[in-house]
Structure 1
Amino acid sequence: MNIKTNLEYFKMSIENKESLDVRYMSLELHESLDEMVETTKEIKELLITIKRLKLNNMPTSQFYEQLRPLILSDLGSKNEFNGFINACDSAISTIKANPETFEQIVNLYLENRDISDHTPREWIQAFIDKGSQRSLGVIGEKKVIEIAEEHGFVFAPTSEMFFNHKYAVTNYTSGIKKQIDSNLNFGSQNKNLDIIFKINDNYVFLEAKHIKESGGAQDKQIKELIGLMNLDLPPNIFVISFMDGVYSNHLLDISEDNINNPDTIIRGGNVTKIRRQRYEIINSLKTFNNVYWVNTYGLQELISDMIEEE
């Protein structure tokens, strides 16, 4: 390997910001969109029927019975009425567990909302988009492997193939980690990571996090990445904390002066959580030579250097 210092890759990551990555996007229309539109039309027709019958004091129970399974179905889950359920301090699970609340919510909807005559596909897709969430962990792992293969690493689906190649990359398994070093421990929880690289007799372990916004769950993920950097590793073992997503740009809003003198980050009152995180990352990089914090650009440069002969 012909790699630079961890602070050099860190500075590259600061200078070359994250951009939107289509890997994490759900750009295609939902495969069941047309069926969802038709189900929503049925729901609206039943709501209109119930409203008219109630105005004329006519029986409505059979139409509530027809409506409920449509609302509870996957095809009937993306429409105005389902959105209104949330506005009633309820959820689909509430209706499933307490059927008696369903009629009450329908009546509230008819009293407080208008029923549109139209059901554009775009409306339904908008409901789907708002709730879309891809499997970020799997996508992040695939992204790292893709970058590695582009730079000359061979993806190894088995441990035998992994150890027989000069430059190999694979998904993390505790078995492979044990073969590399049975005493290797990743922090207090000794957690499973995401990716392992082999470069001759050197091994690089990587944990990937995709973060687009701040929050409690996101802070926990950042804390995990920082925790992996406080490790005194054997000379042939390295750890990469890889964080992509646009929130990385905010976290890495760090000056050269901050890097040279981390105390400037926490100087003064009101040391926010993000300032503390920046301070801890830089301190770890300065304390332990075999740990790295990178974004996408920094990772690409590091992987390129990992495979380069000295």
Structure 2
Amino acid sequence: MATRHEGLHAEHIQSALTGSAAAQSALVASWGRSMRLYGLNPEQGSPPNVLTDRELKDARERLGSLIATAKSTLDRLYSAVGGAGCCVLLADKDGVPVDRRGYEGDDATFCKIGLWTGAVWSEESEGTNGIGTALAEQRALTIHRDQHFRSKNTTLSCTVAPIFDHRGRLMAAIDVSSARSDLTEEFVKLIAVAVVDAARRVEAENFRLAFPKARIVMAQLGFDVCNDRAASALIAVDEDDLVIGASRTARHFLGLTDDTLSKPLPAANLLGQHVDAERELAAAERSVIRRVLASAGGNISVAAGIMGMGRATLHRKLKKLGIH
């Protein structure tokens, strides 16, 4: 039997879905998906579905090295928010937490609620909630208490940021959740900043690991409206100064796709820098000659032999390039 609170919450959702706010609010749009697309009932009180041990193991394996990559970042995040009664979760793209940080004294509460590894928090399963809705909308957000679709989840405050892989595809999400009634909106805003920063750190580290031999260039390309901050884009450049990879932000601001990145693309052109081919060739030649001379102990004849040219030819090049 539904409690009075559950009934009022369900009425509030139904009223919002039939009112003018339905066309304006992202939250109400999520409520609409929960009820109309997924056929969920806000008064349903059953806990989230939970994967079997085998299914959870498979989910963790599908994330590959990301769990290990995110470990230190999750540890730092928990050290910042754990004292306020929050738990930290790393969820896969299907909304299943695969790693967790939490205070042992709060474990029973969070386990009962379902904020635990293996629980399914997709929007399709639980309706509007931090993890599921952030993944569905692919943006950072907070679902605070009665913004949740299910009445049973309205004691929670959940702040989540998605993580995208080195090709810009949705990969996972970081969530900080609390069931404390004294959690202030001001502190929730601070949590939101920390969660977004943590997600970007994990993304950056994952990007670097995906291109271990490349030079990683960070460029400020614009303003990220969703996160209210400058957008940092990561670009992977090979030894020939050709772009071989780009983060989701770089792809968005520079119009890059897997197809454009499959073709040779000079980093200087991409970043709007002027390419002086003659000057760059001279600089490259100068660099090679200086290295060979150094390895030859300054002996012109030996250096010329190493480079397969005559002594006179090398002298002309030294004079032209200003190498003394």
Q: Bin the TM-score by the shorter chain.
A: under 0.3
| TM-score, length basis structure 1 | 0.21
Structure number with greater CO (CA < 8 Å, separation at least 6) is 1
| TM-score, length basis structure 2 | 0.21
